[in-house]
Amino acid sequence: MKQSLNKAAGHVPVLTPKQDKKRWNMKRNYPLHIMLIPAVIFTLVFAYVPLLGIVMAFQDFKPWLGFSNSPWIGWSNFEFMFERQDSKQVIMNTLVISAAKIVAGLIAPITFALLLNEIRQVGFKRTLQTLVYLPHFMSWVILGGILIDVLSPQGGLLNRFITSAFGIEPIFFLGDGDWFRVTIILSDIWKEFGFSTIVFLAALSSVNPSLYEAAEIDGAGRWKQTLHVTLPAIMPITIVVGTLSLGNILNAGFDQIFNLYNPLVYDKGDIIDTFVYRVAILSGEMSFGTAVGLFKSVIAFILILTSYRLAYKYANYRIF
């Protein structure tokens, strides 16, 4: 009523300090909001509009009939997914490879961070950090070509070394299923452990130096200090990284495996993402491929929610 009388009398409404501050913030940040528009459009077009294609999982989709005219078959694609033997094998491969990557992806950077933290020569320490970070910034297209040449049984660098040093036959690292899994896991660790070390180095830098001084006075050596001071201090961030990794348990690394695998290792190296690519894109079974992808997305969503809950419960970590 008062505002209506002010308007009728020609008075300019007086803003409260809170409203004035909000308007000032909007004026100050409007260029940032404008810069955000292309990213929002890009996300809508490439992340949300394609979600309409989920209906293919419940149809016998035919491209010439489209979404509206393709026959609906309900849950048949999902039932067929669990009946196919190769689907079960693909899920198992994904879980094995992904779980091994998560475990090794925690052990390797923590170990390297502890060792790097003991180096006192700053120049050597920074040089070593830079060298181990570099593979992270290289794509698997490049690294895949390098690994194929290095691991080749016909004159590959590693096989030539094995043959000359130990006198054994060349190993087909990328053609034998068991060796392929080992190669995938170790090459992923080599590529990513340097960059993952950053998190643990930051955690180590926040450890109170007085704790080490107290431990040294009590007669603890470097090993005892690491065991009773360093590891407990970085345990919260370790729990956070480990639990959040659970959300990626079904992401075993499409780029890496796609650039390294071949039909000889499908039984041990084929994962959900590469399976969907071959079935949906190459074989044309779009409905079945969509059903497999939707199944993976739902499970991954549940795991992400669970991992954030665990991170909040055991490490008091939360985003919102």
Q: Over the stretch 163-199, which tens digit does the pLDDT of each residue have?
A: 888 888 888 888 888 889 999 999 999 998 888 888 8
The CATH classification of domain 82-315, taken from the options 3.40.50.720, 1.20.1740.10, 3.90.79.10, 1.10.3720.10: 1.10.3720.10
Q: Which amino acid is at 142?
A: I
Six-digit token string for 64: 């010439």
Q: What is the mean pLDDT of residues 199-203?
A: 87
CA angle 74, 276, 305 (to 5 degrees): 75
Q: What is the mean pLDDT of residues 60-78?
A: 84
pLDDT above 80: residue 23: no
| Range scoring the smallest mean pLDDT among 11-15, 131-135, 172-176 | 11-15
Q: How far apart are CA 114 and CA 112, in angstroms?
A: 5
Reported as a pLDDT band with limits 50, 70 and 90, residue 1 is: very low
Reported as a pLDDT band with limits 50, 70 and 90, residue 60 is: confident
Q: How far apart are CA 141 and CA 127, in angstroms?
A: 26
pLDDT at 266: 87
Q: What is the mean pLDDT of residues 260-279?
A: 87
Q: Parse the chain into domains and list their residue ranges.
A: 14-69, 82-315
Reported as a pLDDT band with limits 50, 70 and 90, residue 45 is: very high
pLDDT above 50: residue 5: no
pLDDT above 60: residue 219: yes
Q: How far apart are CA 79 and CA 246, in angstroms?
A: 26
Calculate what percentage of the chain has a pLDDT beyond 90: 9
pLDDT at 313: 78
Q: What is the mean pLDDT of residues 62-84?
A: 84
pLDDT at 41: 94
